[in-house]
A and B are shown apart, each in its own frame.
Chain A
């Protein structure tokens, strides 16, 4: 009897494991294919060998070179500038709101939460036309602020929402305890709460930064050659021959853009999952 139960348990374990393997392969295979292709000599672009063949780093040189009118290096810097600005602004403003929503019971709380939630689900195109006209009129087209300000519309709600859920789980009793032990409320906040909240703020910052880094719609319309972020640079990547996609170079560029994010994900997997499920973040 016990052996039967044990055997069925082991069988179900194997079934679980096979299904898990299917999930992993399905999720990673396209990414793997991008990396493999990026390492392949351009003459073997459509080689179907599942592992790297004709290995070369030429594609990375091509991806980063500016001779064909691609400016991936500058685009990386732009994405960094835009992402950092959006993240800092969203956190500076959003932290106060998140604190209030997580810590204080007050009237209209449900309404405020609903408004912020609605804002995060707002269709980006609805902002596009009016802002296009406004930025054209005031000469902001192609400037950094024309890219940063609209992105706040979806990064700020995301920040507030994610941070609220993190802060709600914090041990606030410790703040009270610190004050009883003789700390002023400012000291209690600075010495007890801030260090405890730091990981939450940091995770929220990562999610906000990734959201900005991945943005395409607004950037593709409002950026100039000088301010275009990586997503736009990749979408408009050109090769040496017209009407011929420089696939291997694009795969190299894609790898360069994606690898930092994948590393972030590997390191902060647990926290990112917690943040994602709390805030219902857009992918």
Chain B
């Protein structure tokens, strides 16, 4: 394989003499593309197996009925084609009524939780991403300054990132325990891990603690691409710090910032570990938690839910890229060219 690799490498730098020969260049281009695709093929095949197959399979089974007791009638159903029944189950809380039609689901059905889970997922996404962007920006600005101990800050900032989320959840579960340190410090007795809004706020705080460093590093990478001369010029022109920030820093860091925000949004939308381990019951159940709860009750219905979630996330990413112009590939490529000092 290494022979192919070097062969491809040689093709990538055509000698100047060959540049005039159009046909030769095109042939070289074709060969280069072929070699490159050969090298990429194993990755694409593997991704098709581990991601492509499950997506297709999920979409197919989402249109199948789950075998088992009908939630509405108590009759045993064998499965078979379900049409959009599974989707209606989640989106409109409709359950099959046994005679081919649908009726409202009985209370206690997981379907009833879909819109609550949607609300929770969006709440977590919006609050954590906003807080992480603001705090991350501040951290990045500090780390971008030259001062003794900058290395220490960079190392410290990686610690929350490195701790596994499962450990983070357990650690903060202890911090937020009824007789834990938070309640002790504030002389309160809030049930952080079991009441609705305290549990939600706790999860937001934990996620902000864990993920802001990542955001800060991405923004820092963007900040370091801004040449120092630009700031120098602004200072010579007498611009205030505030004005410099809004007219130079923010616009210049915008591409990197948008990509970082997109990454974080997509990541927050699939949040699972924290609510699943920290607790909080239905109030903190995100889409992912709901899918996991459903799998053992009826996998086909779970497939429908995960397909809905996938489409939602895809749509949000699409809107973000389309309307805010977050060009992920281009920006990260540019970012990769600039080195972190």
Least CB distance, B339 to chain A, in whole angstroms: 7
Q: Mark A242-267, 1 if CB is under 8 A from B, else 0.
A: 00010100110010011001101110
Asked if residues B184 and A235 are in contact (CB atoms below 8 Å), the reply is: no
| Interface residue B63 (Cβ < 8 Å from any Cβ of A) | no
Complex Cα distance, B55 from A152, in Å, reads: 15
Chain A interface category by residue count: 35 or more
**Set A97, A128, A281: member contacting B39, Cβ < 8 A:** A97
User: Which residues of chain A have C-beta atoms less than 8 A from B8's C-beta?
Assistant: 100, 103-104
Chain A contact residues: helix, strand, loop or mixed: helix
Q: Are A186 and B2 in touch, CB under 8 angstroms?
A: yes
Tell me whether A99 is interfacial, beta carbon within 8 Å: yes
Q: Which of chain A's residues has its CB closest to B310's CB?
A: A126
Q: Whole-angstrom distance between the alpha carbons of A100 and B309 in the complex?
A: 33
The interface residues of chain B lying within 8 Å CB-to-CB of A31 are 159-160, 163, 171
Cβ–Cβ contact B299 & A258, under 8 A: no
Q: Mark A123-141, 1 if CB is under 8 A from B, else 0.
A: 1111111111110000000
Bound-complex Cα distance A273 to B150 (A): 13
Within 8 A of A (CB), among B255-271: 259-260, 263, 266-267, 269-270
Which of B196-204, B216-224, B229-237, B245-253 is near enough to bind chain A? B216-224
- Do B181 and A129 touch (CB < 8 A)? no
B149 within 8 A of A: yes
Contact A126 B57 (CB under 8 A): no
Q: Which residues of A contact B276 (CB under 8 A)?
A: 216-217, 220, 235
Q: Judge whether A80 is part of the interface by a CB distance below 8 angstroms.
A: no
* Structural contact, A129 and B58, CB atoms closer than 8 A: yes
A125 touches B292 (CB 8 A): yes
A17 cross-chain contacts in B, Cβ below 8 A: 147, 149
Check B155–A269 contact: CB distance below 8 A.
Answer: yes
Measured between C-beta atoms, what is the minimum distance from B15 to chain A in Å? 11
Q: How far is the CA of A183 from the CA of B196 in the complex (A)?
A: 68
Does A276 interact with chain B (Cβ within 8 Å)? yes
A266 to B260, CA, bound (A): 24
Residues of A within 8 A of B116 (CB): none
Contact with A along B307-321 (1 / 0, CB 8 A): 101100100010000
| Complex CA–CA separation, A96 to B276 (angstroms) | 37
Question: Which A-chain residue is minimally distant from B274 (CB atoms)?
Answer: A216
Let me know if A16 is at the binding interface, CB within 8 A.
yes
Contact of B153 among A23, A37, A97 (CB under 8 A): A23
Min CB distance A161 to B, Å, is 8
B103 within 8 A of partner (CB)? no
Which residue of the partner chain, among A104, A130, A152, A175, contacts B36 with CB atoms under 8 Å? A104
For chain B, the count of residues having a C-beta within 8 Å of the partner chain is: 114
Whether B27 is near chain A, meaning CB under 8 Å from some CB there, is no
Q: Is the CB of B221 within 8 A of A277?
A: yes
A93 and B43 form a contact (CB under 8 A)? yes
Question: Shortest beta-carbon distance, A72 to chain B, in Å?
Answer: 12
Are the C-beta atoms of A261 and B142 separated by less than 8 Å? no
Tell me whether B170 and A128 are in contact (CB under 8 A): no
B25 close to A (CB within 8 Å): no
Residue of A nearest to B330 (CB): A110
Confirm or deny: A112 has a beta carbon within 8 angstroms of a beta carbon on chain B.
yes
Scan A9-50; emit 1 where CB is below 8 A from any B CB, else 0.
Answer: 000010011011001101110110110010000000010100
Q: Are A265 and B5 in contact (CB under 8 A)?
A: no
Question: Chain A residue with minimal CB distance to B277?
Answer: A235
**Of B73-81, B91-99, B206-214, which stretch is located at the interface?**
B206-214
* Interface pair B9/A273, CB less than 8 Å apart: no
Min C-beta distance of B60 to chain A, whole Å: 9
Who on chain B is nearest to A161 by CB?
A: B332
- CB A273 to nearest CB in B, in angstroms, measures 6
The reply to whether A280 and B259 form a contact with Cβ atoms under 8 Å apart is yes
Q: Determine whether the beta carbon of B292 is less than 8 Å from that of A176.
A: no
Do residues A20 and B170 form an inter-chain contact, with CB atoms below 8 A? Answer: no
**Nearest chain-A residue to B314 (Cβ)?**
A118
Would A126 and B329 count as touching, CB distance under 8 A? Answer: no
- Please give, as numbers and ranges, the residues of chain B lying within 8 Å of A245 by CB-CB distance: 173-174, 177
Q: CB-defined interface of B80-112 with A at 8 Å, one 1/0 digit per residue?
A: 000000000000000000000000000000000
**CB within 8 Å for A172 and B332 given contacts A189-B2, A247-B174, A273-B154:** no
| Further contacts, 4 of them, CB under 8 A, given A103-B8, A149-B50, A214-B164 | A30-B171, A105-B32, A217-B288, A254-B171
A-B pairs with beta carbons under 8 Å apart, 16 shown: A27-B213, A34-B171, A103-B9, A104-B9, A119-B47, A123-B310, A125-B292, A127-B50, A130-B55, A130-B57, A133-B299, A189-B5, A214-B166, A231-B273, A234-B167, A237-B170
